[in-house]
Amino acid sequence: MEFRVSFIQLLQIVLEIRTVTSPDNVRGGDNCGGVVDLTQVGAMTITATDSDNDGIYDDNLDCWWAFTVDEGTIVFESNFFNIEFQSSCGFDWVQLLDGSGEFLGGQAKYCGTTIGSSFQTTSRSLYLWFHTDFCCVTGGPPTGFNFTVKAVLP
């Protein structure tokens, strides 16, 4: 629990820095992280960065998103998921952290093709972190993900 609390604090610091500078100024180009107020946009679909559009996502990514709502909760839906598999998801992974400090679905990292089709937060924020290492995307094309994140009004 201590680890999770300190991890959230770290994440908030990172996101504050990013907000102060520019939400778009993140490695991986467009659609690689950002701070999104879902109260304003309602829903958003995000995908894994694939700079050359060959169906293989980029290496060396760290894409961070912070989704928030003013009230209510957030629903996460996976429409497509195929990330380089490793038994402990040590290479490429997606992390879904509820603002409550709990990992959505109870798992710290997701990789391969297995992720819940839908999760709902218990808090007003969701942090999503997509990490890829230096090489070796397997299992495609297509690879990557397509997620929809939606505001749920109380």
Positions touching Ca ion (CB under 5 A) are: 50, 52, 54, 56, 84, 91-92, 132-133, 136
CB of 91 or CB of 110, closer to Ca ion: 91
Rounded to a whole number of angstroms, the minimum distance from the CB of residue 135 to Ca ion is 6
Contacts 24+ apart (CB under 8 A), 33-37: 33/62, 33/63, 33/64, 33/65, 33/130, 34/65, 34/66, 35/65, 35/66, 35/68, 36/65, 36/66, 36/67, 36/68, 36/149, 37/68, 37/69, 37/70
Rounded to a whole number of angstroms, the minimum distance from the CB of residue 15 to Ca ion is 24
Rounded to a whole number of angstroms, the minimum distance from the CB of residue 68 to Ca ion is 29
CB of 33 or CB of 99, closer to Ca ion: 33
133's tokens: 């290492």
- Give yes or no for a contact between 31 and 16, defined as CB atoms under 8 angstroms apart: no
Rounded to a whole number of angstroms, the minimum distance from the CB of residue 111 to Ca ion is 9
CB of 4 or CB of 109, closer to Ca ion: 109
CB of 77 or CB of 133, closer to Ca ion: 133
